[in-house]
Amino acid sequence: MVNSWLLLLPIAAAFGWIIGRRKSAADKQLKPLSHEYFVGLNYLLNEQPDKAVDVFVKLLEVDND
């Protein structure tokens, strides 16, 4: 019985390490949301769609340089 636990412990540790590596790689792909995005959402929730659209349009502007 004790031998079984000793064999399962390294396997469980390796499995946890693999899961942790996979999660950290997925987190690196996510872009952080800007403050302006949350301001736009706040305007939408407060039923101010005109202000929300203005904020979201500013977020979509692209600098050609």
**pLDDT: is 23 or 55 the higher one?**
55
- Which of 58, 32, 28 lies closest to 43 in space, CA to CA? 58
**Which tokens sit at 64?**
């050609």
Q: Region 33-57: what's the mean pLDDT? A: 86
CA distance 53 to 49: 6
Sign of CA dihedral 61, 25, 27, 23: positive
| pLDDT at position 65 | 45
| pLDDT at position 56 | 85
Query: Is 0.85 topped by the overall pTM?
Result: no
pLDDT bracket for residue 28 (50, 70, 90): low
Q: How far is CA 24 from its chain centroid?
A: 10
Does position 64 have pLDDT exceeding 70, yes or no?
Answer: no
